[in-house]
């Protein structure tokens, strides 16, 4: 991970800074990758078996003790104050071919023969006690998803976009919203300046007056369902409800350039919300082997494309991710019968 220089047009006053918190040694990373490589179950065809085999690895003590100890500290983390975590040099698949631009997911199924990154994501989720979930309308329910461009969705506001994705949180309008997003950097060219940018909810809220906050806490806004959920999904979700931008203590429900006001006052304040996000953002370049945790209910993020010098390699930029929850029980009624991970929607 590298942190980009501050945008000269911004005026962030927060003292929060995203910096790497844990780095695997080369020996630790290689040994853990080798152990994960012994798992035989394909995580896309035999997800439950893959998760079971990863659990056996954890029981067998393959996880470096200092990493296990670090993960335990995350349970007490103040997510309001520190909603983004970066780790370096995690195990990932080193030799993976470029996928087809028209059908990258299908191409992945055909070409990807090792599942080290997927195994690390599964292992981390088990150590942290944060179950991963899949959605019926996203990649037919795959738990392991790709931030990877697709020709037919390259102009969308989804993880399959080629260019920028505006500030948002994952599945903010869905009836099962993730508590975490976990990402492993797989392939990126530093000549293409593509950043993942983050803003804390609490910093956004602190930027508005009490009168403005009252408006933002009222249900005078509308955001359509995200593109990935509705484009090609098998379950019709209908129309999204009107909602407040700020809910609870510091919940921010906003998708830049998609959330709109439904009253004159609400329409007038939307541009200030977007401007505030850009004034407070921090840019991170996710390198191969970087592991990024986003606490989805305490921050918003964006993909920013500043300059492209290698257009072909922009089409193969790749991050593998999972979305996770703290507890499955509150979502049990939304799970497909017979599964403990697949959301019916």
pLDDT band (50, 70, 90) for residue 172 = confident
What's the whole-number mean pLDDT along residues 190-208?
97
Q: Is 168 annotated as a binding residue?
A: yes
The tally of CA atoms less than 13 A away on the side-chain side of residue 226 is: 27
Tell me what pLDDT residue 253 has: 93
Q: Is the CB of residue 178 less than 8 Å from the CB of residue 84?
A: no
Residue ranges and CATH numbers for the domains of the chain are: 2-343 (3.60.130.10)
pLDDT at 9 over 80: no
Tell me what pLDDT residue 138 has: 86
Tell me what pLDDT residue 15 has: 82
pLDDT at 233 over 80: no
Tell me what pLDDT residue 2 has: 59
Q: Average pLDDT of the chain? A: 92
Lowest-pLDDT choice from 51-60, 78-87, 117-126, 169-178: 169-178
pLDDT at 174 over 90: no
Percent of the chain whose predicted confidence (pLDDT) is above 70? 92
Residue 156 CB burial class (10 angstroms; 0-12, 13-18, ≥19): middle
Percent of the chain whose predicted confidence (pLDDT) is above 90? 86
Instruction: Name which residue leads in pLDDT, 113 or 228.
Output: 113
Tell me what pLDDT residue 225 has: 75
pLDDT band (50, 70, 90) for residue 140 = confident
What's the whole-number mean pLDDT along residues 137-147?
93
What's the whole-number mean pLDDT along residues 286-314?
97
pLDDT band (50, 70, 90) for residue 6 = very low
pLDDT band (50, 70, 90) for residue 1 = low
The pLDDT tens digits of the residues spanning 12-57 come to 446 899 999 999 999 999 999 999 999 999 999 999 999 999 999 9
For the ranges 122-126, 135-139, 235-239, the maximum mean pLDDT occurs at 122-126
Q: What are phi and psi of 19, to 5 degrees?
A: -135, 150
Tell me what pLDDT residue 14 has: 60
What's the whole-number mean pLDDT along residues 174-195?
96
pLDDT band (50, 70, 90) for residue 267 = very high
Tell me what pLDDT residue 276 has: 98
pLDDT at 330 over 50: yes
Instruction: Name which residue leads in pLDDT, 14 or 118.
Output: 118
């Amino acid at each position: 991970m590298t942190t980009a220089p501050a945008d000269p047009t911004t005026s962030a006053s927060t003292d929060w800074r995203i910096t790497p918190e844990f780095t695997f040694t080369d020996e630790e990373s290689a040994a853990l990758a080798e152990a994960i490589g012994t798992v035989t179950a394909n995580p896309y065809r035999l997800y439950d078996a893959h998760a079971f085999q990863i659990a056996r690895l954890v029981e067998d003590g393959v996880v470096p003790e200092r990493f296990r100890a670090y993960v335990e500290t995350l349970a007490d983390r103040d997510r309001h104050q520190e909603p983004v975590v970066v780790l370096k040099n995690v195990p990932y698949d080193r030799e993976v071919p470029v996928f087809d631009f028209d059908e990258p997911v299908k191409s992945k199924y055909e070409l990807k023969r090792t599942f080290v990154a997927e195994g690390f994501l599964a292992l981390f989720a088990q150590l942290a006690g944060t179950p991963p979930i899949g959605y019926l309308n996203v990649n037919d329910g795959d738990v392991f998803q790709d931030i990877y461009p697709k020709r037919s969705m390259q102009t969308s506001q989804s993880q399959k976009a080629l260019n920028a994705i505006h500030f948002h949180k994952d599945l903010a309008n869905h009836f099962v919203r993730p508590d975490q997003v976990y990402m492993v950097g797989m392939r990126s060219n530093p000549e293409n300046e593509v950043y993942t940018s983050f803003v804390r909810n609490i910093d956004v809220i602190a930027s508005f007056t009490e009168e403005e906050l009252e408006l933002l806490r009222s249900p005078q806004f509308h955001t359509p369902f995200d593109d990935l959920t509705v484009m090609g999904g098998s379950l019709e979700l209908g129309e999204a409800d009107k909602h407040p931008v700020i809910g609870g203590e510091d919940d921010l429900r906003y998708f830049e350039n998609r959330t709109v006001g439904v009253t004159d006052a609400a329409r007038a304040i939307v541009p200030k919300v977007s401007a505030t996000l850009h004034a407070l953002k921090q840019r991170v370049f996710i390198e191969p082997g970087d592991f990024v945790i986003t606490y989805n209910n305490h921050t918003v993020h964006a993909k920013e494309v500043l300059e492209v010098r290698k257009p072909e390699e922009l089409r193969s930029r790749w991050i593998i991710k999972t979305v996770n929850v703290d507890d499955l029980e509150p979502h049990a009624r939304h799970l497909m019968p017979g599964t403990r991970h697949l959301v019916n929607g």
